[in-house]
Structure 1
Amino acid sequence: MDNIAGQNQGSKLAVNITVIILVLLWLLPTIGLFVSSFRDRDQISNSGWWQAPLAVDLNFRTRVAADNPREEGGSFILEGNVFADPALASSFPDATGTVSAYGTRAVAPGEFAAGEVSDLRAGGTAVVNSDGSYRIETPEALDRGPTIYFEARTPPKFTLANYRTVLFADGMDRAFINTLTVTIPATIIPILIAAFAAYALAWMDFPGRGLLIAAVVGLLVVPLQLALVPLLSLHTHIGIGQSFLGIWLAHTGFGLPLAVYLLRNYMVGLPRDIIESAKVDGATDFQIFVRIILPLSFPALASFAIFQFLWTWNDLLVAKVFLPSGSDSQVMTVKIADDLLGSRGGDWGILATAAFVSIAVPLVVFFTMQRYLVRGLLAGSVK
């Protein structure tokens, strides 16, 4: 018995460790997204989010002023400090830093080590020391000073500018309202329809019920992309075209197979004695559905509501197809993709911030209703 107890304890420990590892793996992308949302774009491009507390080597450039050179031994000398450039004041506010390497070409900004003398393409030599001081020596006076590229270590930089850019972007408030306008009806409508259908498939006998259940299961594997163009053509033909009504119906159609399947499996597992007793007492199918089935099926309803809300809130493809392209009808995903990221290219700080802002509401919904999720998903799996 001691050996058995020891084995059980070891198995329990292994399970706990596995769960902790899985939770950490699930949380890592979210943590990285959160940290990156507060970082400067240049630091994001040059180091991972786990290096956020550390200093980062970044590339900079400065144009040497060619006015007032000093003549010395037949050569013309230009001296100064790369950190004194006003254009670099945001990165080096005290005009001091440490240069690790420098170059005179954009393709090789760290070609030479700090303190090493290099040859200029136009003739002469240049040297940049680790403290940022430079000395350029040319045989003739220059009309235009050369550009110096250098690598310097910068301290970690955290900012709220990314959040200000996203939250206060022009039209973002309207996009948030549009997202709620799409998501809430697109979550409620399929639940209402699927609940009636699931009750009929679970507790009402009629010809062809088995075929309908098989069709619902088959629709779960049909890619929604196949239906986008035909469905949009149908909407245009019947007069609803690209509109909120059109996207509500589109999300309803795409969500109904999973809703019916999930709710039907749950309702089948409800105690038959309760339903038969209600019928003996003279209750109609509608009364049984409203007063008995719906209250008992709340975990399954909440489970589907979580899935449908998350899917609809984060949707980009269906919104691009079934909503007008004007700014008045843009949802948050379209606003972020077209206006913020579309005009800013590889601004990873904006991308991380926009992603984290967009998942805030779904996270609240998920953690509010997650206790019903497992109960609803396991419905019908155990008799």
Structure 2
Amino acid sequence: MDGIAGRRPLLIWAVHLSVAALVLLWTIPTFGLLVSSFRDGDQLSVSGWWTALTPTERNIVYRAPAAEAQVEQAGQWVISGNVFEGQAAGEITKFGFSSKAPTAFDAGQSAELTKGRTLSVMANGDYRIASSEEMKGKRGARIFFTSIDPPRFTLENYRNVMFSEGIGRSFINTLTVTIPATIIPILIAAFAAYALAWMKFPGRSLLLAVVVGLLVVPLQMSLIPLLRLYTDVGIGKSYVGVWLAHTGFGLPLAIYLLRNYIKGLPKEIIESAKVDGASDFDIFRKIVLPLSFPALASFAIFQFLWVWNDLLIATVFLGNNEEQLVMTARLRELLGSRGGNWEILTASAFVSIAVPLLVFFSLQRYLVRGLLAGSVK
């Protein structure tokens, strides 16, 4: 017994460390996404979130104005300006005028260009191209430089997402899709689960096997046939079509989860109600449904998260109509044609999860409440 008792603390520590490791695996990426959502877009594109509090090194190419911008100063023709024009300023450490040697010179030095011209770039970004003769050409010289930028954080990413054109309409559209697509399958699945759990009728086991089998059918296989069917009956590209699609795809899991939960309810409660003359509908409405709130809340969370974050089904059954565009489709458009706006992507992620988090924390208490406590003596 001493040996067993002596091993228990070690086992407990192993469990605690495993849980802590799993929490870190889930928390670190989310924390990194949060940090990235507040970072400057230029810094985010060249460095990871873990460098957010340290200076960032960037290699930038600047095109100086053409010869028409030159002015005469003290007998020389000069083109001057600042390489950080239109950008956040940093500190320049190196510069060059060729892609083969972009860091050939230190900031403040003077570089010899062709045709007797000279180039100098200061640490603050000021540059000066000077020539003893009037410069010609329709294209300006390229200036390569390395900039050390201090950490920069901004709320501009969230402003671009939250106040972009059409985002409010897309938010309403997403709620219009998500709320019915969550409630409808729960209502249908609750009735079906009770029937499969407590009502005896021919083919019940076969029907349950069919429901379980539908869990492994890829929903992508049915998108085109369903869309053609909806178009033929006149509900294609409409909210009714997307509601029915989400209901059909969510019903197998809902019925399976609720049936297992309702089947595990104390048999004595159901039998006592039947002895007292209660019908199956009365038992379902007054006994089973209140006791099944934890299972109903669990599926409601899963279904709501699935529908809210869905892009594929909404695109197929609603299309890209501006009046019916959902949040995920709207945020996809904000990323640009090449999807390179990482600052928009990170901010969009947290904007889109605000409502699902609210739903999760609102229903979480039903997952842990002991509704069966005291129901059976």
Q: Deviations over 1:348-368 (max 9, x none)?
A: 111111111001111121223
Q: Deviations over 1:116-157 (max 9, x none)?
A: 665535565545455656565656431355232211111111
**Equivalent residue in structure 2 for 1:348, among 342, 345, 349:** 342
Residue type of the alignment partner of 1:46: V
Q: 1:140-196: per-residue Cα shift (whole Å, max 9, x none)? A: 431355232211111111111111111111111111111111100000000000011
> Cα 1:208–1:123, aligned 2, differ >3 Å: closer, same or farther?
farther
Q: Does 1:285 align with 2:310?
A: no
Scaled by the length of structure 2, the TM-score of the pair is 0.88
Equivalent residue pairs, number = 363
Could you say what the CA RMSD is over the residues aligned between the two structures, in angstroms?
2.5
Pairing of 1:191-270 with structure 2 (within 5 A): 191-270=186-265
Tell me the CA shift for residue 57 of structure 1. Answer: 1.6
Identify which of 95, 99, 102 aligns with 1:102: 95
SS of residue in 2 equivalent to 1:149 = strand
Deviation (angstroms), 1:329: 0.9
Cα distance, 1:182–1:108 mapped onto 2, change above 3 Å: farther
Correspondence list, 1:170-181, <5 A: 170-181=165-176
Contact 2:71 2:77 (C-alpha < 8 Å) held by counterparts: no
Moved more, 15-24 or 126-135: 126-135
Partner of 2:64 in structure 1?
63
Amino acid at match of 2:144: Y
Unaligned residue ranges in structure 1 (runs of 5+):
377-383
CA distance in 1, matches of 2:82, 2:63: 6
Aligned to 2:53: 53
Decide whether the 8 Å contact of 2:103 with 2:146 is kept in 1: no
Structure 2 Cα separation of the partners of residues 98 and 270 of structure 1: 69
Q: Provide closer, same or farther for how the CA distance between residues 9 and 287 of structure 1 changes in structure 2, counting only shifts above 3 A.
A: same
Q: Is the 8 A contact 1:69 1:141 kept in 2?
A: no
Does the CA contact (< 8 Å) of 1:162 and 1:349 recur in 2? yes
* CA offset digits 1:240-268 (Å, max 9, x no partner): 11111111100000000000000001111
TM-aligned CA distance change 1:364 to 1:156, over 3 Å: same
Q: Counterpart of 1:264 in 2: which secondary structure?
A: helix
2:90 is aligned with 1:111:
no
- Of 327, 335, 341, 2:330 maps to 335
Distance 1:134 1:110 in 2: 15
* Closer, same or farther: CA 211–114 of 1 in aligned 2, 3 Å: same
The equivalent residue for 1:380 is none
Give the counterpart letter for 2:219 in structure 1. Answer: L
Q: Tell me the distance in 2 between the aligned counterparts of 1:290 and 1:258.
A: 22
Q: Name the CA distance, whole Å, in 1 between partners of 2:188 and 2:330.
A: 31
TM-score by length of 1: 0.87
1:120 alignment counterpart: 113
Distance verdict in 2 for CA 1:19–1:240, change over 3 Å: same
Q: Distance in 1 between matches of 2:74 and 2:79?
A: 9
Structure 1, 27-36 or 116-125: larger mean CA deviation: 116-125
* CA distance in structure 2 between the aligned counterparts of 1:121 and 1:209, rounded to whole angstroms: 88
Deviation at 1:229, TM superposition (A): 0.6
Distance 2:368 2:134 in 1: 78
Partner of 2:5: 5
Sort the Cα spacing of 1:129 and 1:2 in 2 relative to 1 into closer, same or farther, 3 A: farther
1:67 is matched by which residue type in structure 2? V
The correspondence of residues 157-172 of structure 1 with structure 2, limited to 5 A, is 157-172=152-167
Shift of 1:41: 1.0
Report the Cα offset of residue 374 of structure 1. 7.5
SS of aligned partner of 1:156:
coil
How do residues 316-331 of structure 1 correspond to structure 2 at under 5 angstroms? 316-331=311-326
The residue that corresponds to 2:37 in the other structure is 37
Match of 2:30, as an amino acid?
A: T
Q: Deviations over 1:298-322 (max 9, x none)?
A: 1111111011000000000000011
Task: Give the Cα–Cα distance (whole angstroms) in 2 for the partners of residues 19 and 136 of structure 1.
Answer: 62
Task: Verify the 8 A CA contact 1:77 1:135 in the aligned structure 2.
Answer: no
Matching residue's letter, 2:42? D
Please name the residue that 1:91 is paired with.
Answer: 88
